[in-house]
Amino acid sequence: MDEMEFDRTRKAIGAQNLGAQDRKKMLDQLKGSGGQVLGERAVRKEEPERERSRGRSSGGSGEGTRMPSEIARENRKKELEAQARLRKELEAEEKAASGFFARVGIKMRCMFMGLTPYGQDMVKPSFFSLINLEGKRALMECNILGNELLFSEPAVSKEVRKELSRSGPLYVEVLERASKLYDRKELSELLSDYQDYPDRSVPLDAIRPSLFALLRKLYYLRPYSEAFQVAAELAIGTQQKVQKKATSLYDSKRKKIRADWRTLMEQVYPALVALAQRAEMKKAEPGTRLFENMIGVVESDKLGKITGSSSEVQEANRQTSQKQAPEEESKEASSEKADNAELAEDEALDASELNSGEAEENQEEQAAESDEPESQGQKELQYGMQVMSSFPIDELRKRYDPKGEWKLVPYQDKVVIAYLFLRLFEDEFSVVLTTPQIKLHTAYRGGVKIDYRERMSDCLEKIRQPYDYFKTYIHECLEFHRAARDSAQAGNYVEHAKKVSFHDSRRGQSGRQTRIQIKDFMDEVNTILTEIIEDFRAGGSTLSNGEDSLQFDLKPNEGMRLDGKKVKEALMETSCFAKALAHRLESGDLYGGVIEMNTEDYQKSFGALPS
C-alpha cells in the first residue's frame, strides 16, 4: 500500500534526522505563526479525556486524529479478516452440505420423490413423464400467454405494457422472463432419451446441462411467483378491455395460467432442485450462496437488475432511431465521410467518393442476398398454405371419419384439424419418403456419412406416435362433450361441474401433446427434404434424378396428387406442406392454449363453417 501524504511530507523535510534543538526551534516557529502542533504523546493523552467527556458516542472521533497510515493499515486488516471469515464460512457450508448424512439425505429424498433409486444416478421415467406432460404444457402456456399479451398484437401489447409499468416496472420484466421459459431445443435435449425409450431410466449426467439450464430460469423467477400471478391477472384484464370478447375466454386463460404456474413452482421446480443436489451430491438449499454457485447463477441475470421498464427503454430507442433515420438520410456528406473512412481502412484507396458509392452498392447487394433465404422460405410457406387450402375441412372430415364417430367434436377443434392434415400428408405426400423412384446417394457432411434413404424411412415410422396420442385425445374429447351435453340429466350440479372440469383438463392436456407430436414430425420431414433440395440446387450429387417423373401404377395410388410430377417438384411440394403445417402448429392458427378456434378465426383460415 502507498504511504500516506503525511508520512511522505515528514520524509521530505527530514524530520527523523532533526536533533532536539532543531526540532524545538521548528516547533517554536510554527507556534509563533499561529499553528498548533500535537505530538503523538499529546494525542494519546487527549483521547481518554475526549472519551470521558463525550461518552460512548465519541468512540469514532478518535480515528480522525490517528495517523493516516495507521487507519489504512487497520482498514486493510479488516478487509483481509472479512475475506478469510467468508472463505471459512463457505468451506464450512460446503463441508456440511457434502457430508455423509447430507449425502444420505439427498439420496433418500430423491428416492421418496420417485426421481432416482437410492444407490444409482439414474433418473426414473416418472420424472420425464412429469416434464413431458404437465411441465411442457405449463411452459408452453407461459410462452403462449406472454406472446399474446406482449408481442402478438401491437394494440394489446401497448396497453398491457402501459398498465403493468404503471403498477410496477418489475411486472413487465417478470412476464417477459416467464414467456421465455419454453425452449424447444432445451426440452428436446432433456427428453430425447425418454421419448426413444419411455420405459427406461436415463443417466443423470446425460441430462445435466439441460436440467441445470431449466432450473436456473425457474430459480430466477421463484422469488417473484406472486408477482407473476398479479402481472398475469392485470395483463389479461387489460387484454379483455382492448379486445372486448367473451368473458369466458379470459376467465379460462386466468384459470389455466394459475394452474400451470402452480405446476411449475410446486411440482417441476422442487424435482429439478432435488436432481441438481443429487447430481452434485451437495445438500445446498435454494437461496444460499452455495446453491447459486452450484447451478451457475449469474448475478446480472437476476430479475430487478434493470432500472425502469426495459420495454419502455426499447420503445424509446426505437422511436429515436426512427426519428434519426430521415436526418441521417438528409446528411449525405457526413454519411459519405463515414463510409469513406471504413473503405479507407478496408481497401486503403484514395478516391473516397467512389468508394463510398461502391460501399453503398455492396451493402444493398449483401442485404438483398441476406433477404433471399428469408423470402424463399416465405414463398415456400405460402405455397404450402395454398396446398393445404385446396383440401376443404368438411371433405377431409368425411374422408377420415366416414362413420361420424366425431360428430360431437366441433369443426373448429384445432387438434382434429391438425390430425386431418396429418392423415392427408400420409395419403398424398408420404410416398416420397419411401418410393424407390427417387434415387438418393449417400452424402457426407462434416466427415459424417448420411444415408437419406434410411433417415426418411425412420422418420415415416414416427408417424405412429401422433396417431397414438390422437386416439387418447379423441377419447377424452368425446367424454368431455358427452359430460357437457348431459348437464340436464345431472342430479347434482356440483358433481356434474367437477366431472366436466376433469374431462376438460384431460382433453386440453392430451390435445397439446397431440399437436406437439404432429409438429415435431412435420419439422423432421421438412428438415430432411430441405437438405436434399438445397444440395440439389447447389449442384450436389445426393439426388440424381431430379428431372424424372413419378409414376404410380398401383390402384390405391391412382388419385395421388404427386402422380406424374417431377421428383424435384414432388420433394418441394411435400416439404412446403410439412413446413406450413409445422408453422401453423407452432405459431399460427392451430397454435394456442384454447383447443377450439372461434368462428371468426375459422372463417379466415378455412372459410364458412359447414351447415
Residue 321 has pLDDT above 70, yes or no: no
Yes or no: say if 483 and 496 are a contact pair by the CB < 8 Å rule: yes
User: Among candidates 195, 252, 178, 186, which has minimal Cα distance to 507?
Assistant: 252
Residue 316 has pLDDT above 50, yes or no: no
Beta bridge partners of 566: 549
Cα–Cα distance between 476 and 458 in angstroms, integer?
A: 30
The phi, psi pair for 553, rounded to 5°, reads -95, -15
Residue 115 pLDDT:
93
Q: Could you tell me where the DSSP H helices lie in 462-594?
A: 464-485, 493-537, 567-587
Q: Which helix (H) or strand (E) holds 339?
A: helix 332-347
What is the tens place of the pLDDT at every residue in 197-247?
A: 888 899 998 899 999 999 999 999 999 999 999 999 999 999 999 988 888
Strands 202-203 and 443-445: unpaired
Strands 448-450 and 202-203: unpaired
Mean local confidence (pLDDT), 589-593: 85
Residue 487 pLDDT:
58
Cα–Cα distance between 169 and 166 in angstroms, integer?
A: 7
Residue 59 pLDDT:
45
What is the tens place of the pLDDT at every residue in 467-501?
A: 999 999 999 888 888 888 775 555 567 777 788 88
The label of the residue with cell 508520512 reads: 7
Most confident of 319-333, 351-365, 452-466, 480-494: 452-466
44-53, 118-127, 489-498, 598-607: which range is least confident on average? 44-53
3-state SS, residue 202: strand
Residue 371 has pLDDT above 90, yes or no: no
Mean local confidence (pLDDT), 449-461: 89
Cα–Cα distance between 516 and 194 in angstroms, integer?
A: 16
What is the tens place of the pLDDT at every residue in 257-306?
A: 999 999 999 999 999 999 999 998 888 889 888 889 889 998 888 887 65
Task: Sketch the domain layout of the chain as residue ranges.
Answer: 1-51, 68-96, 102-308, 316-350, 385-606
Mean local confidence (pLDDT), 523-542: 91
Most confident of 38-42, 166-170, 360-364: 166-170
Confidence tier at 58 by pLDDT (50, 70, 90): very low
Residue 63 pLDDT:
46
Residue 367 has pLDDT above 50, yes or no: no
Long-range contacts of 549-552 (CB under 8 A, 24+ apart): 550/435, 550/437, 550/438, 551/437, 552/431
Show the cell assigned to 338: 463515414
Most confident of 446-450, 500-504, 596-600: 596-600
Confidence tier at 139 by pLDDT (50, 70, 90): very high
Residue 514 pLDDT:
93
Residue 330 has pLDDT above 50, yes or no: no
Q: How far is CA 104 from CA 122, 331, 345, in A?
A: 16, 72, 64
Residue 75 neighbours by CB distance under 10 Å: 12
Residue 50 pLDDT:
55
Cα–Cα distance between 221 and 179 in angstroms, integer?
A: 11
Yes or no: say if 140 and 130 are a contact pair by the CB < 8 Å rule: no
Residue 333 neighbours by CB distance under 10 Å: 8
Q: What percent of the chain has pLDDT over 90?
A: 35
3-state SS, residue 442: coil
Cβ neighbours of residue 419 closer than 8 Å, sequence gap 6 or more: 400, 466, 470, 514, 518
Yes or no: say if 568 and 543 are a contact pair by the CB < 8 Å rule: yes
Most confident of 26-30, 443-447, 587-591: 587-591
Confidence tier at 333 by pLDDT (50, 70, 90): very low
Residue 340 has pLDDT above 70, yes or no: no
Residue 556 has pLDDT above 90, yes or no: no
3-state SS, residue 448: strand
